[in-house]
Amino acid sequence: MPKGIYNVPRAINEPVKSYAPGSPEREQVLKTYKELYNSTVDIPLFIGDEEIKTGDTKRLFPPFDHQHNLGQYHQADKPLVEKAISSALKAREKWATMPWEHRAAIFLKAAELLAGPYRAKINAATMIAQGKTVHQAEIDSACEFIDFLRFNVQFMTEIYAQQPVSSEGIWNRLEHRPLEGFVYAVTPFNFTAIAGNLPSCVALMGNVVVWKPSATQVYSANVIMEVFQKAGLPKGVINMVNGDSAMITDTLLESPDFAGIHFTGSTGVFNSMWAKIGQNISKYKTYPRIVGETGGKDFVWAHPSSNPIEVATALSRGAFEYQGQKCSAASRAYIPASIWGPVKERVVADIKSFKMGSPEDTSNFVSAVITEASFDKLAKAIDDAKASSEAEVIVGGGYDKLKGWFIEPTIIVTTNPKYDTMSTELFGPVLTIYVYEDAKWEESLKLVDETSIYALTGAIFSQDRYAIDFAAKALVNAAGNFYINDKPTGAVVGQQPFGGARASGTNDKAGSILNLLRWVSPRTIKETFIPATDYRYPFLGE
Ligand code: NAD
């Protein structure tokens, strides 16, 4: 029983370490990288209190060296997915009633472990598994993940503190119950922080979870499970299953105890899940919560008053860091003709200076894309652009999959603002630019708004306040994260809650109180101190 109304440590963003030559963090992460790279793992399924090895395995390898062996992970069959459901529901019996401060303590401890003893390991694993540079790993798997854990604890207490008013003789209370059933967390490859946050923020609110990481992130997901266990998370609260995505999803979504989905990934996959939930709706004991952050076709728009060097830098960083594989990465840009010359000169020079290769060589700015399928899709888009009369590849355009899935950072300039790569999400280091006539800057905003189905992130550049105001209004529904004179990537937990609308998701804003509210079901309690003893109201009197 809690014997106090506790305050939690005030959340502050984890400082980003520099990894500059000679720094202790650099030495440590590279040492850990070598150790991990030269050993193999055998990753089980985490179901209830068991770590299960089925023998049905898949090989693990880094995207920048696909012949290198990192070990294997085991895959679940349908009975094991069903076992994950029953294990979660069994864990729920104790977890859902555990006082909140103990749940908070577990995840605050996980944050401390990541900030200290596990920092090098989670970063090195992310560099290896997902092909991130040390800086990209640090801002994701260390800092963002730590921020999610710490801020969510604070948001949880803010939710619990929200209480209704009471009137004379009665006490009204709101109890924020966990959902009745289990939650299915499905995570993408591109952020270790998202992989950790989607199951953990749900569990923090008292729920139990079956978590399916992406097949290309299992390696670092295994480190996440290690951290959660070390932090004292009871077995069965988060069950990690891998294997055939469609079979796992079908099995979980058929369960009457399915209470919600916390998804991040592509729009098509989320749509298919929503459709299945719709088909099964009468099977469920409770209406499930459906939360999904999905695809994007994020834009940079420049006004004629903008500074060309600032615009070019936003493109170099915003479109190409982590090989353009951030959901927020700029992949289409609209530049006025009057500044295109200097923008082009700078961005082309920047891209030519990027080094590409293994993240172990910290002078590399970019590495390989995640899979062969992604490589093939990007290579085809580049070839199509080379062959098109409406497009020109002005820098990059090369690709090579001999050792890893390497796509050169590429810029396509198109004369057709509706050209395919202005609207289709490619999810790689390919940016398409449309140069517009300065006088048509207002019309160009209509193009930005109407060219893609997505509305995730977008950036405008201008030094003219009237133009900023005009563009912000014209693009009011074009992005859930809107940037003025900044690149459209790099949202920070607690500062820029993240998510988009239209085909980019349900916009439940990861890393904010809004998201956590989806994982509780409030019960209103009215307690009357002196109950009525006569049904007659005064108006009935003679
Ligand atoms: P993905 O859709 O391929 O995979 C996401 C998850 O869904 C993975 O766990 C995958 O195994 C699973 N999955 C894939 N096919 C499935 C199927 N048929 N049935 C059930 N599950 C299935 O996405 P990805 O390639 O891992 O990630 C990139 C995508 O995620 C991009 O579209 C990107 O924009 C999006 N994304 C969005 C955000 C955001 O906050 N909006 C953040 C990160 C990534």
Give the model confidence (pLDDT) of 411-446 as tens digits: 999 999 999 999 999 999 999 999 999 999 999 999
**What is the position in ligand 1's atom list of the atom closest to the CA of 293?**
41
Mean pLDDT to the nearest integer, 467-492: 98
- For position 3, what pLDDT does the model report? 83
Q: Residue 174 carries which side chain, given as an amino acid letter?
A: L
Domain extent listing, the chain: 24-294+505-525, 298-484
What would the mean pLDDT of 226-234 be, rounded to a whole number?
98
Residue 480 CB less than 6 A away from ligand 1: no
Whether 187 is in the pocket of ligand 1, judged by its Cβ within 6 Å, is yes
Cα 220 to middle of ligand 1, angstroms:
16
Using one digit for the tens of pLDDT, what is the confidence trace for 391-407?
A: 999 999 999 999 999 99
pLDDT band at 224 (very low <50, low <70, confident <90, very high): very high
Task: Read off the pTM.
Answer: 0.98
Stretch 109-120: mean pLDDT: 98
The DSSP code sequence of 233-269 is PPTTSEEE--S-HHHHHHHHHT-TTEEEEEEES-HHH
Tell me the residue type at 67. Q
201 is annotated as an active-site residue: no
Give domain 298-484's CATH superfamily: Aldehyde Dehydrogenase; Chain A, domain 2 (3.40.309.10)
Q: Ligand 1 within 6 A of 307 CB?
A: no
Mean pLDDT calculated for residue range 156-181:
98
Q: Tokens representing 377? A: 């899709």
Specify the pLDDT at position 2: 65
Exposed/middle/buried for residue 517 (C-beta within 10 Å: 0-12, 13-18, 19+) = middle
Would you state the pLDDT for residue 173? 98
User: Residue 542: its pLDDT value, please?
Assistant: 85
193 pocket-lining for ligand 1 (C-beta < 6 Å) = no
pLDDT at 429: 98
**Percentage with pLDDT > 70 across the chain:** 100
DSSP annotation string for 308-330: HHHHHHHHHHHHHGGGG-STT-E
- The C-alpha atoms of residue 478 and residue 102 are separated, in whole angstroms, by 41
Please tell me which residue in 14, 144, 293, 360 is annotated as part of the active site.
Answer: 293
Residue 1 pLDDT grade (very low, low, confident, very high; cuts 50, 70, 90): low
Q: From ligand 1's centre to the CA of 131, what distance in Å?
A: 17
Atom 39 in ligand 1: residue holding the nearest Cα: 293
| Fold assignment, 24-294+505-525 | Aldehyde Dehydrogenase; Chain A, domain 1 (3.40.605)
CA of 265 to the centre of ligand 1 (A): 2
Q: Does pLDDT of 380 surpass 80? A: yes
Instruction: State which ligand 1 atom lies nearest to the alpha carbon of 505.
Output: 41
- Asked if residue 269 has its Cβ within 6 Å of ligand 1, the reply is yes
Q: How far is CA 531 from the centre of its chain?
A: 50
Distance from the CA of 243 to the center of ligand 1, in angstroms?
15
168 is catalytic: no
Residue 382 amino acid letter: I
Average the pLDDT over 190-219 and give the result: 98
DSSP assignment, residue 401?
Answer: -
Closest CA to 271 of 297, 254, 294: 294
Same fold, 24-294+505-525 and 298-484: no
- 441 DSSP 8-state letter: H
Q: Which of 327, 360, 408, 425 does the annotation list as catalytic?
A: 327
pLDDT in tens, 311-352: 999 999 999 999 999 999 999 999 999 999 999 999 999 999
Ligand 1 centroid to Cα of residue 263, in Å, is 8
C-beta of 508 in contact with ligand 1 (< 6 A)? no
